[in-house]
Structure 1
Amino acid sequence: MGRTGEPEKVDTYVGARISLRRSALGLSQTALAQQLGISFQQVQKYETGQNRISASRLHRVATVLATSVEAFFPPVETARGPADSGWEALRPITATLDGRAVATAFPLIEDREVRKAVARVVQALACDD
């Protein structure tokens, strides 16, 4: 925990990435917990950053979710300096099931022009005009 009792930003980020991957695979917190041999409440705490996840447990999570441990972490340059806007930008996206679905699927779009078009559509829909 940070000085204010809030989770560290990297713990929150890792938890959000676990949640995204779990959701993308269609696993419930209970299903993931069962495969890890822990309670679903513990999975909730990991996903919110309330509890830190040990290296060995994170390795197990990566194995169960068929990804690399590195997939749960931000790029090193993001973790340094004032570029913290990336941390906060992830929170609203992961707050809803729809947001997690979009965030999970977007990088899977292989065609760069299609990704750009999707980004333009989302930006246009988000405008208040």
Structure 2
Amino acid sequence: MADEIDVHLGRRLRRRRRLLGLTQQELAEACGVRFQQIQKYECAANRMSAARLWQLSEVLEAPISYFYDGFTEAKARGGEEAGEVFARKETRDLVRAYYQLGERPRRRLLDLAKSLNGEAEG
């Protein structure tokens, strides 16, 4: 049976991979493993070694701490993941589109979103 930390790491791996728009196959090729191994990591059937976690962090351009972010909170909620909104396709599409913009349009879009949020609160 998978340990809570393995489940959390697998969820974070899946989230980051999807955010970057990578398939399991593409990630596996970048790591020199088969896609089934990525599947096993994501569903916590197999544990990730420290070396594999390091490799994944390099390929996914995320600090190792990314994989552990929110674990304490999730554990306190019985494994329920905070920020499930990031697992939605709509959110991933929005983030991908945002990062395809140049720096100036990104700042302007962020300012717009903040101002709209301020209007909703006020």
Where has structure 1 moved over 4 Å in runs of 4 or more?
90-94, 108-111
Matched residue pairs, number? 105
Residue aligning to 1:55: 50
Which of these residues, 28, 33, 46, is aligned with residue 33 of structure 1? 28
- What TM-score do you get using the length of structure 2 for normalisation? 0.67
User: Is residue 92 of structure 2 the alignment partner of residue 101 of structure 1?
Assistant: yes
| Contact preservation (8 Å) 2:24, 2:38 | yes
Taking the aligned partners of 1:88 and 1:40, their CA distance within structure 2 comes to 26
Query: Which structure 2 segments of 5+ residues have no match?
Result: 100-108
| Contact preservation (8 Å) 1:13, 1:74 | no
Q: CA deviation at 1:91?
A: 9.7
| Contact preservation (8 Å) 1:23, 1:100 | no
Letter in structure 2 aligned against 1:65: L
Per the alignment, in what secondary structure is the counterpart of residue 61 of structure 1? helix
Residue aligning to 1:15: 10
Per the alignment, in what secondary structure is the counterpart of residue 27 of structure 1? coil
- What TM-score do you get using the length of structure 1 for normalisation? 0.63
Question: Which string of whole-angstrom CA distances, capped at 9 and with x for unpartnered residues, describes residues 62-113 of structure 1?
Answer: 0000110100003464377xx134x32359667x6527728x94xx9966x8
